Structure 1
Amino acid sequence: MSTLDRFLPVWIIAAMAAGLLLGRAVPGLDGALSKVEVGGVSLPIGLGLLVMMYPVLAKVRYDRLDTVTGDRRLMASSLALNWLVGPAVMFALAWTFLPDLPAYRTGLVIVGLARCIAMVVIWNDLACGDREAAAVLVALNSVFQVLAFGVLGWFYLAVLPGWLGLATDDLHFSTGKIVVNVLVFLGVPLLAGYLTRRVGEKRRGHAWYEDRFLPRVGPVALYGLLFTIVVLFALQGRTITSRPADVARIALPLLVYFAVMWGGSFALGRAVGLPYPRTATLAFTAAGNNFELAIAVAITTFGVTSGQALAGVVGPLIEVPVLVALVYVSLWLRARAHTRA
């Protein structure tokens, strides 16, 4: 694990601080960014979002889908946890903890719909999980997300609250716009990542692609994430500094979510008889979220300075240290199982 990845929480906190300082130093920054837009999205932020998505999807081994799909216990558990349990848990927590803050609540629901990719592979490696299984689950969830995100967004943001009698008069959004944003900010880098691997391996070979190309392009994802966080916090600075209690309220359901999803998934893996490596993979792919996509959807749908975008930005601040801590919990459980054996 590189120094860049190992100190990710430090870089994220530093990016947030830099953004706050930048927002204070350049009060007209939001107006400057809004002058350069494409389809209602600030061009600098849109490019930053695409940059942080592409390297992760270029790492996926698209040719190995069949190496794990034969494990029906793993596949069924992963799909159920990611697309049935995860969104429902986040929906319940968002409405429980933020009933009076609809913008933040919606942002959390979007985070819950953005399923595992990106940093999940790193957490899985640190916890000695099954690397190939993680790669396959990441690939499948990435493809499934392109197809399912818009439908689930419509269901959890518009349909289910009405069924449950929850007031949503203060929520206005376009389901079609969410679908378009997912297709752009996930579909485009997914296609680019697939074509890059296919063309790169065909022309230069697998060894060159894995050992030379990926190490060079990999850090770009983090640079894109940090750039986006700097700009977002520059625009959200006054809200953050004037409403620290709101930020704390966003953080609390996220803490509960990661603990519930990881703990429940790990217990399920053991209950269905998966070995430790695949149990760890199941737990981290179920608990980890694609906060890059969540930020992209929140920004392009609700605006850069929206409460939904702030909720998305708080996501990685909480997720990174929590999942690092869960890596150590996972390794402790692994050592304990070996001792008993």
Structure 2
Amino acid sequence: MGFFEKYLTLWVALCILVGVTLGYFFPDGFQFLGQIQIAQINLPVAVLVWLMIIPMLIKIDLKALSGVSKFARGMGVTLFINWAVKPFSMALLAWFFIGYLFRPYLPQDQIESYIAGLIILAAAPCTAMVFVWSNLMDGEPHFTLSQVALNDVIMIFTFAPLVGLLLGLSSITVPWDTLFLSVIIYIVIPLVIANSWRSLVLKQKDGDEKLTDLINKITPYSLSALLLTLVLLFGFQGIQIVTKPIIILLLSIPILIQVIFNSG
């Protein structure tokens, strides 16, 4: 592990601080960037996500995806955690912490919205970041792609009924355009780019060696894009974080507990 990767936690913390600071002092700039979107998907963030995950996707030989069956147990564990544990555990944590323990310290007219937001967050598993963390840990790229794709398919069909069940709603407005477009933007497009790039390189003389050199050259861009994404995301919420730190802190507690619980 290189120096940069070794102290990634420090760089992440610094980028969060930079993002909040810039977002607070230059809100108009971040507001402009935040408005560049399609179906509630921010395009600047999408481009950074491509830069994050293409270095891993380019390692993937689509012909070798049939071999992921040997990871069936791991995939089963992932699906169980994402769909049988995360949404329900977050619902319990949200109801306890936000609906009961922290209720006196939060705006009363926003309690239900905060609970709903936490539940929706847990019911929509991350996709792009899975590629980044897997790449950092030298994870098996074919397994990563397979489980991300499978989770996205499940999310499309289960998001509405699961969130409706946990929120006690008979019907909810499902952003179908956002769900489908997010799969296309965050998975399909970068996968096509990476696979096409991989094929072009392999067709050249000494293709395998050139592919290895290419991966080594573009991998650092993945971490750089990750850090820039953090700056951008926290910049979008800079004013909210600075002006409402107690609310942000209280909302982060159930999220942190769930992350630790699921990781264990």
TM-score, normalized by the shorter chain, greater than 0.5: yes
Match of 1:161 in 2: 166
Match of 1:322 in 2: none
Contact 1:45 1:231 in 2 (8 A): yes
Equivalent in 202, 209, 212 of residue 211 of structure 2: 209
Using the TM superposition, give the Cα deviation of residue 135 of structure 1 relative to its aligned residue in structure 2, in angstroms.
Answer: 2.9
1:164-183 to structure 2, matched below 5 A, reads 165=168, 174-183=175-184
Match of 2:248 in 1: 247
Using the TM superposition, give the Cα deviation of residue 215 of structure 1 relative to its aligned residue in structure 2, in angstroms.
Answer: 1.5
Equivalent in 117, 122, 128 of residue 109 of structure 1: 122
Tell me which amino acid in the other structure corresponds to 1:156.
L
Provide, for residues 258-296 of structure 1, a one-character-per-residue CA deviation record: whole Å limited to 9, x for no partner. Answer: 333233xxxxxxxxxxxxxxxxxxxxxxxxxxxxxxxxx
Q: Quote the Cα distance in structure 2 between the aligned partners of 1:40 and 1:87.
A: 22
Tell me which amino acid in the other structure corresponds to 1:118.
V
1:284-299 to structure 2, matched below 5 A, reads none
Tell me which amino acid in the other structure corresponds to 1:153.
F
Q: Quote the Cα distance in structure 1 between the aligned partners of 2:243 and 2:75.
A: 45
Using the TM superposition, give the Cα deviation of residue 95 of structure 1 relative to its aligned residue in structure 2, in angstroms.
Answer: 4.6
1:42-53 to structure 2, matched below 5 A, reads 42-53=42-53
Q: Quote the Cα distance in structure 2 between the aligned partners of 1:55 and 1:173.
A: 32
Q: Against the structure 1 CA distance between its residues 74 and 106, is the aligned structure 2 distance closer, same or farther, given a 3 Å change threshold? A: closer
Using the TM superposition, give the Cα deviation of residue 36 of structure 1 relative to its aligned residue in structure 2, in angstroms.
Answer: 4.8
Using the TM superposition, give the Cα deviation of residue 16 of structure 1 relative to its aligned residue in structure 2, in angstroms.
Answer: 1.4
Match of 1:118 in 2: 132
Contact 2:55 2:222 in 1 (8 A): yes
Aligned residue pairs total: 249
Using the TM superposition, give the Cα deviation of residue 50 of structure 1 relative to its aligned residue in structure 2, in angstroms.
Answer: 2.9
Contact 1:86 1:261 in 2 (8 A): yes
Contact 1:36 1:43 in 2 (8 A): yes
Q: Quote the Cα distance in structure 2 between the aligned partners of 1:78 and 1:34.
A: 32
Contact 2:90 2:258 in 1 (8 A): yes
Contact 2:39 2:177 in 1 (8 A): no
Q: Quote the Cα distance in structure 1 between the aligned partners of 2:43 and 2:154.
A: 26
Unaligned runs of 5+ in 2: 100-110
Q: Quote the Cα distance in structure 1 between the aligned partners of 2:166 and 2:160.
A: 11
Contact 1:117 1:141 in 2 (8 A): no
1:325-340 to structure 2, matched below 5 A, reads none
Tell me which amino acid in the other structure corresponds to 1:137.
F
Q: Helix, strand or coil for the counterpart of 2:132?
A: coil
Q: Quote the Cα distance in structure 2 between the aligned partners of 1:69 and 1:83.
A: 20
Using the TM superposition, give the Cα deviation of residue 140 of structure 1 relative to its aligned residue in structure 2, in angstroms.
Answer: 1.0
Q: Against the structure 1 CA distance between its residues 152 and 113, is the aligned structure 2 distance closer, same or farther, given a 3 Å change threshold? A: farther
Using the TM superposition, give the Cα deviation of residue 28 of structure 1 relative to its aligned residue in structure 2, in angstroms.
Answer: 2.0
Q: Against the structure 1 CA distance between its residues 257 and 193, is the aligned structure 2 distance closer, same or farther, given a 3 Å change threshold? A: farther
**TM-score, reference length from structure 2:** 0.76
Q: Quote the Cα distance in structure 1 between the aligned partners of 2:29 and 2:76.
A: 47
Greater shift in the superposed pair: 215-224 or 77-86 = 77-86
Q: Against the structure 1 CA distance between its residues 26 and 255, is the aligned structure 2 distance closer, same or farther, given a 3 Å change threshold? A: closer
Q: Against the structure 1 CA distance between its residues 110 and 242, is the aligned structure 2 distance closer, same or farther, given a 3 Å change threshold? A: farther
Match of 2:151 in 1: 145
1:211-250 to structure 2, matched below 5 A, reads 212-250=213-251
Match of 2:21 in 1: 21
Tell me which amino acid in the other structure corresponds to 1:60.
I
Q: Quote the Cα distance in structure 1 between the aligned partners of 2:180 and 2:197.
A: 24
Q: Quote the Cα distance in structure 2 between the aligned partners of 1:194 and 1:34.
A: 30
Task: Indicate the structure whose relative CO is greater, using CA pairs within 8 Å and at least 6 residues apart.
Answer: 2
Q: Quote the Cα distance in structure 2 between the aligned partners of 1:62 and 1:83.
A: 26
Q: Helix, strand or coil for the counterpart of 2:70?
A: coil
Identity rate, percent:
22
Match of 2:106 in 1: none
